[in-house]
Amino acid sequence: MKQVLITGGCGFIGSNFVRHTLEHYKEYRLINLDKLTYAGNPGNLTDIENSPRYRFVKGDICDADLVRKIFAEEKIDAVVHFAAESHVDRSITGPAEFIRTNILGTFTLLEAAREAWLKNGDSTGKEYRFLHVSTDEVYGSLGETGAFQETTPYDPRSPYSASKASSDHLVSAYFHTYGLPTLITNCSNNYGPYQFPEKLIPLVINNALQGKALPVYGDGKNVRDWLYVIDHCEAILTVLHKGKTGETYNIGGNSEKQNIEIVSTICDILDEKVGLLPGEKARRSLVTYVKDRAGHDRRYAIDATKIRTELGWTPQVNFAEGMRKTVEWYLDHQAWIASVTTGAYREYYEKMYGGR
Which parts of the chain have pLDDT scores under 50?
A: 344-346, 348-349, 353-356
| Whole-number pLDDT of residue 356 | 32
- Is residue 65, in this structure, part of any structural domain at all? yes
Residue 53, classed as helix, strand or coil, is: coil
Active-site hit among 34, 77, 137, 303: 137
* C-alpha to C-alpha distance for 244 and 310, rounded to whole angstroms: 10
**DSSP conformation class of 339:** H
* C-alpha to C-alpha distance for 293 and 220, rounded to whole angstroms: 12
* C-alpha to C-alpha distance for 207 and 195, rounded to whole angstroms: 15
Residue 126, classed as helix, strand or coil, is: coil
- Is residue 48, in this structure, part of any structural domain at all? yes
**CA Rg value for the chain:** 20
* C-alpha to C-alpha distance for 305 and 316, rounded to whole angstroms: 15
Residue 160 annotated in active site: yes
- Is residue 237, in this structure, part of any structural domain at all? yes
Q: Which of 323, 331, 44, 18 is nearest to 196 (CA)?
A: 44
Domain count, the chain: 1
- Is residue 169, in this structure, part of any structural domain at all? yes
* C-alpha to C-alpha distance for 89 and 87, rounded to whole angstroms: 6
Active-site hit among 54, 128, 139, 160: 160
- Is residue 49, in this structure, part of any structural domain at all? yes
Q: What residue numbers bound the domain in which 166 lies? A: 2-195+227-253+299-317
* C-alpha to C-alpha distance for 353 and 355, rounded to whole angstroms: 6
Residue 98, classed as helix, strand or coil, is: helix
| Whole-number pLDDT of residue 345 | 47
Residue 74 annotated in active site: no
Active-site hit among 34, 77, 85, 136: 136
* C-alpha to C-alpha distance for 78 and 59, rounded to whole angstroms: 18
Residue 217 annotated in active site: no
- Is residue 138, in this structure, part of any structural domain at all? yes
Q: pTM, whole model, 2 decimals?
A: 0.93
Identify whether the C-beta of residue 118 lies closer than 8 Å to the C-beta of residue 44. Answer: no
Q: Which of 268, 235, 254, 266 is nearest to 329 (CA)?
A: 266
Sign of CA dihedral 220, 224, 230, 231: positive
Residue 350, classed as helix, strand or coil, is: helix
Residue 233, classed as helix, strand or coil, is: helix
- Is residue 345, in this structure, part of any structural domain at all? no
- Is residue 6, in this structure, part of any structural domain at all? yes
- The CATH code of the domain that includes 29 is 3.40.50.720
Sign of CA dihedral 323, 329, 333, 336: negative
* C-alpha to C-alpha distance for 52 and 278, rounded to whole angstroms: 49
Q: Which of 101, 96, 116, 138 is nearest to 7 (CA)?
A: 101
